[in-house]
């Protein structure tokens, strides 16, 4: 088979994504951010934010069905739901308002974020969400748990959700940080996608070079996690299982915004693992989606043509460290 040929496997894989703490993100573009000064800016752009939602949106753009679950509240929550009317969602409504964040993007692509605290979620609202999740799990093949777990939520939620999904034979993807990530990996999800900082926190070892990333990934694989994919920004991806280790190098592209790039990689992995016949091809596709995403404004997604163009230039090689 040619190095650039992908063999597709016909498969329709139902995906559930969970966003515990979605937001309305307000994007402001400036030439250069200078503290303590007046900035005259173009009209701010208001968009839906949330890592699981971003994954579902990218899957939707790729033609892959998913159901987005999570919490929304108040008039902001109503607006958020309305913006996702072309997708399948089933959010649990809460009394408190969905949060609003401000993201300032400079001409060189540097991002400065101002994130609001998460709304409180009542016990009855949690119970309603759990019932929704349990109702969908028997019909799903993948559960993507994405984003931070706020202080108002038990950090063991992801761990417990992974165990619940396993009871239904559902594979889990975990893309989180902090205590939620540390506890989540103990439940042995199928796939974990840390960045370099998160990998260092998980393993307790400094991660600077690709060799460090592969060592850390293999450390997690040895605990029983099937697949670890480490995102390294402009340096690409590292993927590791007990039998295969790959490194994906991506082409240089103009960076418009890094918002949602990691979420695009998760969506690319979910799509690639269901559509392509090898891990190598799936990793190449995920790297292409993540790279194409940084060329887009805000939470918009690249076209399939843009992804395919980058895909041709992604180099994936067996790890020989």
Catalytic (active-site) positions:
263
DSSP-derived letter for residue 224 is T
Task: Tally the residues of the chain.
Answer: 321
- Alpha-carbon distance 167 to 92, whole Å? 23
Query: Who contacts 92 (Cβ-Cβ below 8 Å, separation ≥6)?
Result: 69, 70, 71, 72, 125, 128, 129, 132
Q: CA geometry: angle at 227 spanning 223 and 233, to 5°? A: 115
Strand 315-318 and strand 245-249: the pairing is antiparallel
Number of Cβ within a 10 Å radius of residue 128: 16
- Alpha-carbon distance 182 to 104, whole Å? 30
Task: Give the closest residue to 47 by CA, choosing from 305, 301, 314.
Answer: 301
């Amino acid at each position: 088979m040619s190095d650039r040929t992908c063999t597709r496997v016909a498969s329709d894989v139902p995906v559930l994504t969970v966003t515990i703490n979605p937001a309305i993100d307000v994007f402001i573009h400036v030439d250069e951010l200078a503290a303590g000064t007046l900035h005259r800016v173009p009209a701010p752009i208001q968009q839906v934010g949330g890592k699981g939602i971003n994954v579902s949106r990218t899957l939707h753009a790729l033609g892959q069905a998913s159901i987005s679950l999570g919490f929304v509240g108040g008039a902001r929550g109503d607006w958020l739901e309305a913006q996702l009317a072309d997708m399948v969602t089933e959010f649990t409504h809460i009394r408190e308002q969905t949060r609003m964040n401000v993201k300032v993007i400079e001409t060189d692509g540097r991002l400065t974020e101002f994130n609001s605290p998460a709304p409180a979620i009542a016990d009855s609202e949690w119970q309603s969400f759990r019932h929704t999740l349990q109702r969908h799990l028997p019909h799903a093949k993948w559960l993507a748990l994405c984003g931070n777990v706020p202080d108002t939520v038990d950090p063991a939620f992801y761990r417990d959700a992974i165990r619940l999904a396993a009871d239904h034979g559902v594979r889990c993807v975990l893309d989180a940080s902090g205590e939620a990530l540390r506890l989540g990996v103990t439940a042995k999800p199928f796939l974990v996608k840390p960045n370099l900082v998160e990998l260092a926190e998980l393993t307790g070892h400094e991660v600077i070079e690709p060799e460090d990333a592969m060592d850390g990934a293999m450390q997690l694989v040895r605990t029983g996690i099937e697949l670890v994919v480490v995102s390294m920004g402009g340096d690409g991806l590292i993927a590791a299982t007990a039998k295969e280790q790959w490194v994906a190098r991506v082409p240089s592209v103009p960076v418009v915004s890094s918002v949602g790039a990691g979420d695009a990689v998760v969506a690319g992995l979910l799509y690639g693992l269901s559509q392509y016949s090898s891990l190598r091809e799936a990793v190449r596709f995920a790297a292409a989606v993540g790279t194409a995403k940084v060329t887009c404004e805000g939470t918009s997604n690249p076209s399939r043509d843009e992804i395919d163009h980058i895909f041709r230039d992604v180099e994936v090689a067996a790890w020989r460290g």
